[in-house]
Amino acid sequence: MSQSLYVQGSLFEDDYLIRTLGALAHSADVALTELVANAWDAGASCVDITIPSERGERLIIQDDGIGLSKEEFHNRWMKLGYNRIKHQGNKVIFPKGRTGTRMAYGRNGIGRHGLLCFNNEYVVITESTKNKATFIISTLNESQPFVLKSETEVPSNGHGTRLEVVADRNLPNPDRILEVLSARFLHDPQFVVIINGKSVPLEEHSGLINSTDIKVDSVSLKLHFIDSQKAARTTIYQGIAFWQGGRLVGEPTWILGSEAVIDGRTRFAKRYTVVVKTDDLAEYILEDWTGFKKSDMMEKIYTSVAEYVNDMFRQLAKENLEETKQQVKREFGDHVKDLSPLGQYEVDEAIEVITLNHPTARPEVVSLAIEAVINLEKTRTGKELLKKLSVLSEEDIAGLNKLLDQWTIKDALCVLDEIDGRISVIEAIRKLSSDKDIDELQILHPLITEARWLFGPEYDSPEYVSNKQLKTAVKDIFKIDLDSDDHKNRRRPDLLIKNEATWSVTGTESFDNDSSLSTLNKILLIELKRGGFKLTRGERNQAQGYVEDFINCGSIIGNPYIYAFVVGQEYGEKIQPIATVQNINKVEQGKVCITTYSQLVDTAEKRLFKLRDKLGERYEDISGMDLYRKTIQPKLGL
């Protein structure tokens, strides 16, 4: 006689799901933003929203996206915690006849529950694959968090999705929602949001601060500077967005070419958006519209746009100067009061100079600079300082004056030490990588490991193999006992000896939105061959096998993207240097890159703004081993 595997399953209150959704179920701004983001992910070009004037009437969201088949609806919409990246990847698929490149916003599928902000029951009508299906969803069920009450299907040749809900609660204000949504999706001109028959053209947006026409040679540009927070607390994208002929090129970013206009972490970067409209850049756009080709003309345009952006930030800083002064004085009030009238005047002047010349500096940097000025004012009669100043040349005095206007001494030393350390590492790689007698395990791999920022900024502070999931996977795949005495005694536990090469394995982590638990989101594998080694197709295939092993090892929770780099002195001309790896669902989950030491050095020089060229004489007479001893040995405790 068979026995039941359990006595009773879970029971659910009819408001269980709503209580777990947080702001999504209680804020119309958040709910409608998520639902419009779903239309974006469906490849829609237009979202038409009807918001009723009274409760009890229907709120309707209609898009012209790709829609869902009946099977897709069951597998995606009806699955709690649906993982879009795992099943669909992060690129948007457009309806037939429409082209473009978009990165999906959705990650865990929670946005579709936004309709529960307005009612416990709603209707989904979606057209795809020659059929139109209608579904009624409800949370009024004790055995399930939400259920499919009914479904029908009829033939159709259209595409898109229509959402209907009777708005019994949280009825939004149409004008307010229009401002919020237009601000959050402003970066793409080919994605239009209409509410009750209205849309907001860029030129009429409430957050528009300035519009300026500039000309770079024969190219005409119209630049719009927008304060996105005037309508919405946050935007989905911030940065500079280029529109060519009414179409977005790439994604908004504060990086133009190889240089950042401002630090993306600053309050300015997170608040403002710049749109550059033109019809004159078609010939400079990459075929897939992901960015611009490298050219002298684009460098000129980047320079002009950067100058405009910095001028606007300086103007904003000037308008808020008095507020900034009061804020700084509140922070250092007692210290400023103790200064002489002349000292207080000069601190006031320093605040103005720093604020206007560096409007995008982070608050903590400004505070450090002002604190240094105050401390200098306190020691104006210090004999040691006067003695040092008395022996400086006119050129050094001018340089020191400029330095103190813009930096604290502490900050300057910190930056100079960091630059010196990074250039020293790259110079050591340059001088030692071609030497066949150099031990790659003891010398080259620690240098490459120290320069992990070459492969992406997220690896700048790696956690090595301390992550237990990654450690287990490394043991299984590389067949190496990381807990053995031999391995424990090595000074670099992140390095693995394997045949004629060494490997390092690094994982970066993030918190999963659904479980709030830490999971691996990226894995970086670096295989380093001995100096003078020529890479073949065999090395690439071996690395690809390791990537596949990590994808399918079963030891890692989540779906981290895996980057593998194989580094040698050179590689054969017939080898394809980049290969992608897909999982069993045909979703790209890894990449293998064949590269050379010289390519890494070239990349490093560009990431360091070619400072090595400007400071080359400083390192010319220092041998590669001396640079290694200077930068790596202290960190190994040697």
User: Does residue 155 lie within any of the structural domains?
Assistant: yes
93: domain CATH number is: 3.30.565.10
Rounded to 5 degrees, φ, ψ at 563 are -105, 125
> Does residue 123 sit in the same domain as residue 41?
yes
Do 438 and 567 lie in a common domain?
yes
Of 110-119, 351-360, 464-473, 590-599, which range is least confident?
464-473
Band the pLDDT of 304: cuts 50, 70, 90.
very high
Highest-pLDDT range among 24-38, 371-385, 437-451, 512-526: 24-38
**pLDDT one-digit tens code per residue, 72-120:** 888 888 887 777 777 777 788 888 888 777 777 766 667 788 888 899 8
The pLDDT of residue 299 is 93
Residues 423 and 564 in one domain: yes
311 part of a folded domain: no
> Does residue 304 fall inside a structural domain?
no
Q: Which residues contact 538 (CB under 8 A, 6 or more apart)?
A: none
Task: Give the number of domains in the chain.
Answer: 4
CB 68 within 8 A of CB 151: no
pLDDT at 170 over 80: yes
Rounded Cα distance between 194 and 63, Å, is: 10
Q: At residue 553, what are phi and psi to the nearest 5 degrees?
A: -70, -25
Mean pLDDT of the chain: 78
Number of neighbouring beta carbons within 10 Å of residue 539: 22
- Domain of 550? 418-636
pLDDT above 90 covers a percentage of the chain that reads 16
Do 135 and 41 fall into the same domain? yes
What sections of 97-231 are H helices per DSSP? 174-184
| Judgement on whether residues 462 and 592 belong to the same structural domain of the protein | yes
Token pair listed for 119: 């009612």
The per-residue pLDDT for 188 is: 79
Q: What is the pLDDT of residue 257?
A: 86
- Quick one: average pLDDT of 276-284? 92
Is residue 331 located within the same domain as residue 463?
no
pLDDT of 382 over the 50 cut: no
Kindly indicate the confidence band of residue 465, based on its pLDDT and cuts at 50, 70 and 90: very low
- Has residue 413 been placed in a domain? no
Residues 240 and 330 in one domain: no
- Tokens 């600053």 correspond to 266
pLDDT value of position 234? 47
Confidence at residue 163, expressed as pLDDT on a 0 to 100 scale: 94
The answer to whether position 11 is within a domain reads: no
Are 422 and 555 members of one domain? yes
The reply to whether 316 falls in a domain is: no
Token duo for residue 520:
């691996």
399 found inside a domain: yes
Q: What is the mean pLDDT of residues 439-455?
A: 74
622 and 539 in a common domain: yes
Q: Do both 344 and 239 map to the same domain? A: no
Number of H helices, E strands in the chain: 22, 22
Report the range of poorest mean pLDDT among 266-280, 378-392, 470-484. 378-392
Prediction pTM value: 0.48
Cβ proximity of 631 and 450 under 8 Å: yes
Considering the domain boundaries, does residue 310 fall inside one? no
Q: Would you mind telling me the total number of residues written for the chain in this entry?
A: 638
Q: In the prediction, which pLDDT does 378 show? A: 67
Q: Which of 245, 276, 293 finishes a domain?
A: 293
pLDDT recorded at residue 55? 93
The rounded distance, in Å, linking the Cα atoms of 18 and 114 is 9
pLDDT band at 464 (very low <50, low <70, confident <90, very high): very low
Q: Which of 381, 407, 433 is the last residue of a domain?
A: 407
pLDDT exceeds 80 at position 303: yes
* pLDDT band with cut points at 50, 70 and 90 for residue 184: confident
**578 and 621, same structural domain?**
yes
pLDDT on residue 616:
63
Residue 1 pLDDT exceeds 50? no
CB atoms within 10 A of CB 637: 6
- Residue 499 shares a structural domain with residue 617: yes
- What would the pLDDT profile of 549-592 be if each residue is shown by its tens digit? 888 887 787 788 899 998 888 888 788 888 899 888 888 999 99
Res 493: pLDDT: 47
The per-residue pLDDT for 233 is 44
Please state the rounded mean pLDDT for residues 232-253: 75
